[in-house]
């Protein structure tokens, strides 16, 4: 089963799930033992296929560090925190976490886009 570790020591994913906000991006950093990389990819694939059937899901992409890295990042876009919360806390999804290799550590965190003039559009202005 995957271990969940906060990406930001000051704000846990559960604290973030208690908020209400429109479109959010989930960044989930995974670290796994080299011999478990294929098991992690398979477990993530099963989760992603389940998540994409949930209301509010927009898209997802898995990235892997280069040069033999065992660090992965999942980038997923959701219509709102509420939609993600409903999917993430669903008992069926929580049960799928058991399929991850025991060496896997996940650090999920929700983000909002930041508007920076002449560079990017966003939901917040710094």
Q: What is the mean pLDDT of residues 38-56?
A: 97
Which CATH number is correct for 3-111, 3.40.980.10, 3.90.420.10, 3.30.70.100, 3.40.50.20?
3.30.70.100
> What Cα–Cα distance (Å) separates residue 60 from each residue in 33, 67, 119?
23, 23, 23
CA distance 82 to 36: 32
Residue 112 falls in which region: left (phi positive, over 0), alpha (psi -120 to 50) or beta = beta
CB 110 within 8 A of CB 34: no
3-state SS, residue 36: helix
pLDDT given at position 1: 87
Mean pLDDT in the chain?
A: 95
Residue 6 neighbours by CB under 8 Å, 6+ apart: 12, 13, 107, 109
For the stretch 59-111, pLDDT in tens is 999 999 999 999 999 999 999 999 999 999 999 999 999 999 999 999 999 99
Beta strands in 13-104 (DSSP E): 22-31, 57-64, 71-80
pLDDT given at position 61: 98
Sign of CA dihedral 43, 48, 90, 2: positive
User: What's the pLDDT band for 122 if we cut at 50, 70, 90?
Assistant: confident
pLDDT score of 15 more than 80: yes
User: What's the pLDDT band for 44 if we cut at 50, 70, 90?
Assistant: very high
Q: What is the mean pLDDT of residues 109-114?
A: 94
pLDDT score of 53 more than 70: yes
pLDDT score of 58 more than 70: yes
Domain spans, the chain: 3-111
Look up residue 65 and give its two tokens: 């560090």
């Amino acid at each position: 089963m995957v271990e969940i570790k906060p990406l930001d020591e000051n704000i846990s994913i559960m604290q973030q799930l208690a908020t209400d906000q429109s479109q959010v991006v989930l960044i989930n950093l995974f670290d796994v033992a080299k011999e478990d990389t294929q098991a992690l990819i398979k477990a993530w694939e099963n989760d992603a296929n389940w998540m994409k059937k949930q209301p509010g899901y927009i898209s997802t992409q898995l990235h892997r560090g280069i040069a033999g890295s065992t660090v992965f990042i999942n980038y997923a876009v959701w219509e709102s925190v509420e939609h993600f919360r409903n999917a993430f806390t669903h008992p069926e999804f929580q049960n799928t976490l058991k399929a991850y290799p025991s060496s896997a550590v996940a650090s999920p965190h929700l983000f909002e886009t930041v508007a920076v003039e002449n560079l990017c559009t966003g939901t917040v202005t710094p």
